[in-house]
Structure 1
Amino acid sequence: MRSFLTRITTLTPIAVGLALGMVAAGVLAVVGGSYACAVVRDQLAPQKITFPQNQAQGLFPDLKQYAGQTVDNGAKAKAYADKFINRHLQEVAGGQTYAQVSTKALAAPDDQKLAAQKATLFQGETLRGLLLSVWGWSVVATIATIGGILLIVLGAILAGLPLTALALGRERKLVAA
């Protein structure tokens, strides 16, 4: 035990410096994660995308927890994209994708029904993709925040160990004198 304390004490300035660096990196990660969450919210809120109030208005049963809510965070953006828009897109052209409908529309340029389906699928897939990107950035923000908190806690613990060992060593020297 004494050998361990001696080693930590001799490396105190380096260990504390590295630990404080971890704390600083953690603070930056938390600030960055919080900023990213705020940007997600600030970009979504003005769009005023809202889930329907109830099933009669088109709300799917597995989205009840979002009934009437505005899409203002990553989780809601993902739910709206995957469980609302995507389901409606499946109904546009019998489950065909934009690429499939677009190919048919190019082959039949006078077919108004195909042109309308192509436009609807393009717009829906674009909105869906944007919402899923927002969700992805919200996940990155959450990971950065959690990682930052862990770095702060770990850095504080690692800074405290050599300082405690140093304090115990000084205390022992004073008692021995």
Structure 2
Amino acid sequence: MKRRTLDILFSIGGLGIAALLLIVGIVLTTNANFAKNYVHDQLGQQHITFTPADQLSDEEKKSDCLVEYAGQPMTTGKQAECYANEYIGLHLQSIAGGQTYADLGKPQTQLKEQVAQAQASNAANLADLQKQLADVTAQRETVFKGETLRGLLLTSYGFSEFGVKAEQGALAMYLGAGLMLLLSIAGLVHAFRTPATATFAAPEPTRNSTDDPVKV
């Protein structure tokens, strides 16, 4: 095969790959922008603002992100992660000794049974049991709300991370497309600089022994 033909074929293939990488990059960029804008709009509608720096508790000040975002409205996935883990998570630990909504289900059920028994027997500790039940119920409802909000914020954070990964993937596609374009251009330049008669990996002509001059 002629070397010029081979260079042109490889260059055309490189241009095709560059175009494909460019298209993939554009798709990834579109997805990244959608994720970023969607998370921004959804979080902005919640009107959540981080506690100002001068109002943070000593425990809250130990969190770097709470100090960094102090007083700012929540609009990004990273902010949602910080608020969910460092703010809500911290305050949930102070409720019911850090027990979760599921953990509080068992003591709540037990207290309901004890209250029912105390009511049936008109026990003297009925009022105390009712107060304990009210406290556990209030704690469980508070924990449920906190865990629900925390879960929703972490979901927003996870969705935003998909956008970040898509953005990184798009950058890789653009770099790959640029590299393939440069290589393809270099191949075309080399093709037109190569003599038309030059061949690639062509076998050398065999030499017939009868063509050798006869020595006298």
TM-score by length of structure 2 reads 0.73
Matched, 1:88 2:91: yes
- The answer (yes or no) to whether the contact 1:34–1:141 under 8 Å persists in 2 is yes
User: What is the 5 A alignment of 1:120-159?
Assistant: 120-159=142-181
2:115 matched residue in structure 1: none
Secondary structure class of the residue paired with 2:104? helix
2:31 matched residue in structure 1: 32
Q: 1:103 Cα deviation (Å)?
A: 2.1
2:102 matched residue in structure 1: 99
Q: 1:115 to 1:158 in 2, by over 3 A?
A: same
- The answer (yes or no) to whether the contact 1:27–1:149 under 8 Å persists in 2 is no
Unaligned runs of 5+ in 2: 113-129, 197-216
Aligned length: 172
- The answer (yes or no) to whether the contact 1:23–1:153 under 8 Å persists in 2 is no
Q: Counterparts of 1:38 and 1:172 in 2: how far apart (Å)?
A: 51
Q: Counterparts of 1:34 and 1:55 in 2: how far apart (Å)?
A: 35
Q: 1:89 to 1:8 in 2, by over 3 A?
A: farther
- Alpha-carbon deviations, 1:12-65, whole Å to 9, x = none? 322221221011101110111011100000000010111111353548112211
Q: 1:168 Cα deviation (Å)?
A: 2.5
Matched, 1:114 2:136: yes
Q: Counterparts of 1:23 and 1:52 in 2: how far apart (Å)?
A: 43
RMSD, aligned CA: 2.2
Q: 1:52 to 1:113 in 2, by over 3 A?
A: same
Secondary structure class of the residue paired with 1:142? helix
Q: Counterparts of 2:43 and 2:7 in 1: how far apart (Å)?
A: 50
Secondary structure class of the residue paired with 1:11? helix
Q: 1:93 Cα deviation (Å)?
A: 0.5
1:43 matched residue in structure 2: 42
1:79 matched residue in structure 2: 82
